[in-house]
Structure 1
Amino acid sequence: MAQADRRSGPQETEPTLLLGIAFGFLSSLGPFAIDLYLPAMPGMAQAMAADSGAVQRTLSAFFLGLALAQIPLGTLGDRYGRRRPLIGGLLLFAIASIACAMATSLDMLIACRFLQGMGACAGTSSVRAMIRDRHSGHRAAQLMAFTFLIIGISPVLAPLAGSYLLQAMSWRGLFLLLAGGGAVALIAVSIFLPESLPPQRRLHRQPMLHAYGRLLGTPAFLGWTLVAGLATTVPFAFVTAAPFIYTQGFGLSAHHYSLLLALNAVTSIIATQFAPSLMRRLGARPLVTGVALVAMGATALIAMAGLTMPVPIALFQPWSMLLFALSGFILTPAAISALDAAAGGAGAAAGLLGTLQLAITAAASAAVSLLPSVSILPLTGVLGVSFLTMLLVMLALGGRASPASA
């Protein structure tokens, strides 16, 4: 056991700015593929003679692809190194993006978005494993937070870029731009990104079921993974409903609501950068508990207001900004605590973390898409259940020390 821990343990070196930028760029491909075409969704629904819920399911398909590919990519990374699975995933992302641009029906687009999500997950899963290869605890949180900073730029720039680009091209052109981004990432990784898992630390003989069985038998890993998934649910469930709430509920143009989405993302970016220091000062569990309490209270208040009157945008927008900020406080501590609680290969842990996290996100986005798209009540219901579940998990973990809080 000691030998296994030594072989899979992180390298305690200082995080570098260049590495954080590279990891952030790779991790941002997936979020950018989500946010860039948000302004086009109402127009896509009209062009394909589909309702809003059907177009929203292209998001759920993308999330499902992200979730299902995490485990095989994590296992391949533990056995063969991080670079080869990453390169293969980026290649799939570029090809699937071209296929999305050529889709002739909504069903074909949904299938291609699923494949695009599978390719995009290579960036997210491989980056988390690479961070765990090098760091743990507070240093890993610092690098993870900086990675989230780069990822957070996507919700700021992508909807705005999408709304401007739609004036010059159709939604198909947006997917061709995503294909170009995947090709750039593929070339950059092939030339510049070094391998983080040397051959002597790879787990060539560990059976896949054994590795994931150990992770599933670790309550702290499962608890923190659930919290990370619920934290991710906040922004992604919101962006699933937001295009129709903003346009049909509040009567805003695609450009105007893209500005509001960008404002939400800015609050999340700022909060994420404070998360490592707050986690070190307060501990992961007290931080997440306090944040979840505030979020649940705010969501309950706006839901009660929505039951008695139409909620004005002057109330809806501050609430949404608050939730984006609070999710930023939660995500880094939850992800790092889950990885620190795991034993065995970092790739397996990152893969299972990503699978469960994104499966929760896909389920929440699907629930939002199946409910009425103009009212805010379905969104507040999904998010309220998410925050309540976080609190219950924190209570269950109350007797267990958080690895990241040390």
Structure 2
Amino acid sequence: MSARHLNTDSPWLLALLAAIVALGPLSVDMYLPAMPSMMRALDTDISYMHLSISTYLAGYAIFHLACGPLADRLGRKPVLTAGTGLFVLACIGCAQSTSANELLVFRFLQGVGACVGPTLARTVTRDLFGPRRAARALSLIAMLMALGPAIAPLLGGFMLLVLPWPVIFIFLAAYALAMIVLLQVFLPESLPERQSLHPLNILRNYAQLLKDMRFMSVVLASGLVYAALMAYLSSSSFVYMELLGVPVQYFGFIFLTTVLGYMGGSALSARMSDRLDSHQTLVRGAILCLASAMLMWLGGSLRPDSVAVLMLPMTIYAAGMGLVYPHAMAIALAPYPHIAGTASSLLGFIQMGLSGLSAALVGQVLEASAQPMLIAMASCTAGCLALSLYAVRRN
């Protein structure tokens, strides 16, 4: 099979990178409607189902630390291919699980395989588009990528009307196989300079990043805004379907408003990248996220039986996240072209580690109301704004 690499002027390159990035969110969003039925089928409880998300995020986070250095040494495509192949096998394992413990093992492996897509798609974007064009490219990729999570809960919900829950994981395996084929045909190898895999060299690179307070502040800011999102996602099926009585076939439509907000925020982010510094856009997005999280908390306290008081502010939150996420990544990766894979890995490790912790903690206390989810979201976004303002001062 001959390769037909796409150049950076081709919109299909951004679409391919967005499809690769979508592998991560699809692994969470698509099975959210199935969590109540999986809970009954595997004879477990809601805290264990939250743990299935946290376990996935743990695998996703931990392998970041190896994924970036491997890609900086071996190249982007080989690591992408191997990781996505592992994801396919783990999806098949999830579909065949007969107990909650089996599911957790395969979800961990699924997270390990899934992490290469978003991590190395960010790295390839930095390689191909450079520091100045990366923020715009990442914003456009985020806007395109959101189409997957928009469809995923809807598709998952309608699948469950006629098919058992394992079919969702079979679908994810087929999607990942298609990504492997497209990667081989269309994605160019973009590694600019091979790095050593010597442990001391890897530790030296990570130490350089950890000591860079500008890097760490924007990485932690984006990690906290993502942790708030994960607190919402991991709780959403229980809150909407079990507490508020939303039927499974309508659950996906609630997510559609959130995804539309994220797409709108990402589109605005791309436009603002030509007129505003990335730090300014980051702060504006963090303010929007905090305001909407506080509005959700207030609405959920005053009207705990209303779907709208959670769904509508979450749309605004998603728009703010569309401003925060691509510009935080662009700021973090800009000074490190020679170790872009390692920098992207540390960014992903911190984001997913915070997200997994958030999902696990909320799952332990979520029982009769949405308050634990709302408190976690407000706390995380307050931290995001504080770190964003610190990054501006450092800049």
From 324, 331, 349, give the equivalent of 2:325. 331
Report the CA distance between 1:52 and its aligned residue. Answer: 1.2
Question: 1:306-385, aligned counterparts within 5 Å?
Answer: 306-342=300-336, 344-385=338-379
Q: Give me the whole-angstrom Cα distance separating, in 1, the residues matched to 2:177 and 2:24.
A: 14
Secondary structure of the residue that 1:310 maps to in structure 2? coil
> 1:343, CA displacement in angstroms?
6.3
Change (3 A) 1:305 1:330: same
Aligned to 1:230: 224
Q: How many Å separate the matches in 2 of 1:398 and 1:31?
A: 29
Q: Confirm or deny: 8 A CA contact 2:290 2:385 kept in the other structure.
A: no
Equivalent residue runs for 1:122-271 within 5 Å: 122-197=116-191, 201-204=193-196, 207-271=201-265
Residue-pair matches, total: 387
Structure 1 position 84 matched with structure 2 position 78: yes
1:71 to 65, 68, 90: 65
Give 1:305 deviation, angstroms.
4.4
Q: CA RMSD in A?
A: 1.9
Using the TM superposition, give the Cα deviation of residue 374 of structure 1 relative to its aligned residue in structure 2, in angstroms: 4.6
Q: Which amino acid aligns with 2:196?
A: H
2:46 pairs with 1:52? yes
SS of 2:285's equivalent? helix
Stretch deviating more after TM superposition (221-230 or 129-138): 129-138
User: What TM-score, normalized by structure 2, do the two folds share?
Assistant: 0.93
Deviation, 1:85, is 0.8
User: Does the Cα contact within 8 Å between 2:257 and 2:311 map onto a contact in 1?
Assistant: no
- The residue number in structure 1 matching 2:87 is 93
2:32 aligns to what?
38
Other-structure match for 2:4: none
- 2:110 is matched with which residue: 116, 121, 127? 116
TM-score for both structures, normalised by structure 1: 0.90
Query: What's the % identity of the aligned pairs?
Result: 27
Match in the other structure for 1:286: 280
Task: Tell me how far 1:205 sits from its aligned partner.
Answer: 6.4
SS of the equivalent of 1:286 reads helix
Query: Does structure 1 retain, via aligned residues, the 8 Å contact 2:229–2:377?
Result: no
Alpha-carbon distance between aligned partners in 2 of 1:152 and 1:373, rounded to the nearest angstrom: 30
Distance in 1 between residues matched to 2:337 and 2:211, nearest whole Å: 10
Q: Bigger shift: 304-313 or 372-381? A: 304-313
* Stretches of structure 1 lacking an aligned partner (at least 5 in a row): 1-12, 402-406
Find the counterpart in structure 2 of residue 4 from structure 1.
none
Report the residue type matching 1:106 in the other structure. Answer: A
**TM-aligned CA deviation for residue 291 of structure 1:** 3.1
Cα-to-partner distance string for 1:251-299 (whole Å, 9 max, x where unaligned): 1101112111112111111111111332442323333323323432343
Q: Which runs of 5+ in 2 are unaligned?
A: 1-6
Tell whether the 8 Å contact from 2:80 to 2:120 is kept in structure 1 after alignment. yes
Are residues 293 and 311 of structure 1, via their aligned partners in 2, closer, same or farther at CA, if it must alter by over 3 Å?
A: farther
- Spell out, residue by residue over 1:290-324, the C-alpha distance to the aligned partner (whole angstroms, 9 max, x if none): 33234323433442444455252232221111111
Distance 1:306 1:83, change over 3 A: closer
- The letter for the 1-side match of 2:262 is S
CA–CA distance in structure 2, aligned partners of residues 116 and 305 of structure 1: 36
Matching residue's letter, 1:36: M
Contact 1:241 1:373 in 2 (8 A): no
CA distance in 2, matches of 1:54, 1:106: 8
* 1:316-347 C-alpha deviation (Å, 9 max, x unpaired): 22111111111111111111111114464111
Aligned AA (1:365): A
Residues of 1 paired with 2:123 and 2:161: CA distance?
39
Once residues 52 and 366 of structure 2 are traced to their aligned partners in structure 1, the CA distance between those partners, rounded to angstroms, is: 17
Partners in 2 of 1:270 and 1:234 — Cα distance?
Answer: 19
| Alignment partners' CA distance in 1, 2:43 and 2:197 | 52
Residue identity opposite 2:394 in structure 1: R
Residue in 1 that maps onto 2:380:
386
Shift of the 158–22 alpha-carbon distance from structure 1 to 2, 3 Å rule, reads: same
Q: CA deviation at 1:228?
A: 1.5
Aligned-residue offset at 1:94: 0.6
- Is the CA contact (8 Å cut-off) linking 1:82 and 1:130 kept in structure 2? yes
**Letter in structure 2 aligned against 1:56:** H
- The equivalent residue for 2:19 is 25
- For residues 289 and 344 of structure 2, what CA distance do their matches in structure 1 show? 27
> Which segment drifts farther, 307-316 or 390-399?
307-316
Q: Aligned letter for 1:202?
A: R
TM-aligned CA deviation for residue 235 of structure 1: 2.8
Per the alignment, in what secondary structure is the counterpart of residue 93 of structure 1? helix
Divergent runs of 4+, >4 A: none
C-alpha separation between the residues in 2 aligned to 1:312 and 1:282? Answer: 38
Residue 73 of structure 1, CA deviation:
1.1
* 1:79 CA drift (Å): 0.8
